[in-house]
Amino acid sequence: MGANEIKNIIDRLKTKKIDMDGKDFLLTWEKSRDEIEATFLVADALRAMRDAGISPRVWDSGIAVSNFRDNSTRTRFSYASACDLLGLYVQDLDEGKSQIAHGETVRETANMISFLTEAIGIRDDMYLGEGDKYQREVGKALDEGVASGVLPSRPTVVNLQSDIDHPTQAMADFLHLSHYYGGLDKLKGKKIAMSWAYSPSYGKPLSVPQGIIGLASRLGMEIVLAHPEGYDLIPEIVELAERQAKASGGAFKRVHSMDAAFQGADIVYPKSWAPYDVMQKRVPLLHEGNQAGLKELEKQCLANNAKFKDWECTEARMKLTKEGKALYMHCLPADITDVSCEAGEVAASVFDRYRDDTYREASYKPYVIAAMILLGKSKDPAATLAGLLKRSSARSAI
């Protein structure tokens, strides 16, 4: 993609009505359709610049704080890559080595780390009812810091996964789908099966499936949410997706059969998650450090999971999809039967066939995160991108 194609993306960006400067990116459904599309356009422009050897560095100094309160590979490296792409140095906030361990408040921490900070990425997905709340508390503290004159400018908070949504994942997934099918508008009417799948672990967050139905329902897609009885998501998010699907001209259905979900599907997304009520029970046990209680809960949940080992994305199930050729998707890492575990979410032969597609799916995440940061910091993102293109600094002398 050359300069003319990048200019075309910038021209399309100019047509979008957005209000993202100084705003955090926490939940996709808090953003307008134009703002969602603007994020995709900026991500595409940044990727095109990098591919063309044009430096997309907006800053020549400044830091981006990385606060991972749970383990991560793809999102951690995607965040670091995104920040470096824009010219920011990444500094990890290790809470165990900070004064947080000594009782420092969220308000104080947020201000102390933000004097020269442009972005704060937060993953907080372990405690149902608390991750999104914590991210908003950080945002409020930043607002107060700017209002009082303590902070010269407000860093943008990016949700790198909360208990409610995983917007960087969902946005990367749908940017992948947009390119795969030849445009975001081509997704309208496509059937996507967001299905629970068996895993030999029990505590996987709800935010990935919630993020998928929360965004697919904005795009006029036909969504089938499938899971065994008792493996519910947060009820309010499911109801939101139902309303959004109706408003967008799409459809939303819940079933308790993986076969029914896969039947005629264009896209399948088999992914394990813990039941909503289990995640609720987990929170007080985690806070109490009740290891015996956590082990007993895990024992009960794994025993219940084992009743549904047949919830696997197999070759036979893939044949049920549209022309037997549905696109397989996963946020990774997938539990692959006879590879990473004895029994898991997906058969090895299915995963191997779609391995490159899942890697391409993941490759959009750094650009999506970079776009979220740029849009949160730029008053005129189209002009910012145009300036980068005009400057045309080379990424490398090689």
- Give the tens place of pLDDT for each residue, 315-330: 999 999 999 999 999 9
For CA atoms 292, 294, 298, 301, give the dihedral sign. positive
Task: Convert the pLDDT of each residue in 134-188 to its tens digit.
Answer: 999 999 999 999 999 999 999 999 999 999 999 999 999 999 999 999 999 999 9
pTM over 0.75: yes
Please report, for residues 62, 177, 272, the alpha-carbon distance to residue 377 in angstroms, rounded to integers and kept in the order given: 13, 27, 35
pLDDT confidence of 100, banded at 50, 70, 90?
low
Task: Report the pLDDT value the prediction gives residue 125, as an integer from 0 to 100.
Answer: 93
Mean pLDDT value of segment 219-226 = 98
- Give the residue range(s) of CATH 3.40.50.1370 domains in the chain: 3-165+364-391, 170-362
Fold of 3-165+364-391: Rossmann fold (3.40.50)
Cα distances from 122 to residues 25, 185, 213, 307, in angstroms, run 11, 31, 22, 35
Question: What homologous superfamily does CATH list for 170-362?
Answer: Aspartate/ornithine carbamoyltransferase (3.40.50.1370)
Please state, as a whole number, how many other Cβ atoms lie within 10 Å of the Cβ of residue 141. 18
**Rounded CA gap, 68 and 370, in Å?**
17
Distance between CA atoms of 193 and 50, rounded to whole angstroms?
A: 33
29/241 Cα distance (integer angstroms): 9
Under DSSP, the state recorded for 326 is P
Reported confidence tier of residue 397, pLDDT bands at 50, 70, 90: low
Cα separation of 248 and 187, whole Å? 12
Contact criterion met (CB below 8 Å) for 365 and 123: no
